[in-house]
């Protein structure tokens, strides 16, 4: 379903009708498809999967901000439209950065944070994304096939490389496949700036929300030391290193991630 916001339509997938509400935010270059194997194992929760503006099957306007701070505002609009007063928020990659900003700017909306291989502080974006700010990419994007680059990215970012095939990569490329989509991908990448997360660094130290960090032990994009760094920056945070998982840990270890999220939220809900 689509939810209308001030910046455009946001694609939203809702499963379940009862139980705790859990919001899932993806990173770059993924979309809500990232969470399919995780949420299928959380039948007792109401899950809300959101495609960030400019990603997946949400609108891709050329005149709206795609910064993490703006994305947090759009997510807040979606939750308001859906009548969600408060939810546990799970974020991967830049989705984790959006989740942090949401928790600081709209704390009433966030019960807890689960940050998975998350952007944060000043250690992102990774060079592979930052290089897209070079003006030369305005011409390159006219003719490039994103499939090859995405394939390399997932091969580097996953431990279970046998899962990286045409079907998986095709699902992530599809929203960006045509020329307008490729231009949208470039806009999304260029909007990423660590200053968004550094602006809230002091607020994270005072954040009155429980936070769980899950990190792939073999994340080559954001190594586990970044997880430790982010853990130290958040007042009430715990870190779990996930074995046999890379940066795209929801693809590598969806069963383990679902079990961790389920146990964590059930404990919080009993308090």
Question: Does residue 77 form part of some domain?
Answer: yes
* Residue 109 pLDDT exceeds 90: yes
Residue 180 lies in a domain: no
pLDDT confidence bin for 16, thresholds 50/70/90: confident
Q: Among residues 269, 195, 203, which one has the least CA distance to residue 45? A: 269
Within a domain: residue 60?
Answer: yes
Backbone conformation region of residue 88, classed left if phi is above 0, alpha if psi is from -120 to 50, else beta = beta
Reply yes or no on whether the pLDDT at 17 is more than 80: no
In a domain, 169, yes or no: no
pLDDT averaged over every residue in the chain = 97
- Please classify residue 116 by burial: count the beta carbons closer than 10 Å to its beta carbon, then call 0-12 exposed, 13-18 middle and 19+ buried: buried
In a domain, 179, yes or no: no
Domain count, the chain: 1
**Does the residue 67 lie in any domain?**
yes
Q: Write the pLDDT tens digit of every residue in 34-60.
A: 999 999 999 999 999 999 999 999 999
Q: What is the CATH number of the domain that holds 113?
A: 3.40.50.1820
Could you report the per-residue pLDDT of 216-263, keeping only the tens digit for each?
Answer: 999 999 999 999 999 999 998 999 999 999 999 999 999 999 999 999
Write out pLDDT tens, residues 161-220: 999 999 999 999 999 999 999 999 999 999 999 999 999 999 999 999 999 999 999 999
Residue 85 domain boundaries: 2-123+192-270
Q: Tell me, yes or no, whether 88 lies in a domain.
A: yes
């Amino acid at each position: 379903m689509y939810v209308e916001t001030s910046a455009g339509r946001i694609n939203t997938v809702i499963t379940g009708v009862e139980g705790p509400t859990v919001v899932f935010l993806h990173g770059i270059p993924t979309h809500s498809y990232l969470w399919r194997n995780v949420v299928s194992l959380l039948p007792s929760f109401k899950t809300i999967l959101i495609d960030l503006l400019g990603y997946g099957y949400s609108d891709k306007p050329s005149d709206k901000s795609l910064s993490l701070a703006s994305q947090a505002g759009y997510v807040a609009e979606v939750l308001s439209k859906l009548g969600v007063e408060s939810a546990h928020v799970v974020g991967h990659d830049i989705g984790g950065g959006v989740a942090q900003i949401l928790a600081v700017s709209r704390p009433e909306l966030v019960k807890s944070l689960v940050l998975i291989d998350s952007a944060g502080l000043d250690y992102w974006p990774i060079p592979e994304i930052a290089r897209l700010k070079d003006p030369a990419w305005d011409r390159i994007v006219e003719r490039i096939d994103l499939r090859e680059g995405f394939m390399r990215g997932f091969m580097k970012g996953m431990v279970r490389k046998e899962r990286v095939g045409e079907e998986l990569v095709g699902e992530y490329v599809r929203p960006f496949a045509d020329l307008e989509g490729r231009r949208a991908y470039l806009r999304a990448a260029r909007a990423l700036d660590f200053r968004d997360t550094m602006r809230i660094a002091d607020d994270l130290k005072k954040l009155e929300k429980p936070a769980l960090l899950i990190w792939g032990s073999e994340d080559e994009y954001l190594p586990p030391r970044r997880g430790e760094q982010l853990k130290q920056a958040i007042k009430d945070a715990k870190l779990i290193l996930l074995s046999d998982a890379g940066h795209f840990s929801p693809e590598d270890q969806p069963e383990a991630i679902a079990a961790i999220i389920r146990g964590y939220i059930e404990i919080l809900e009993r308090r």
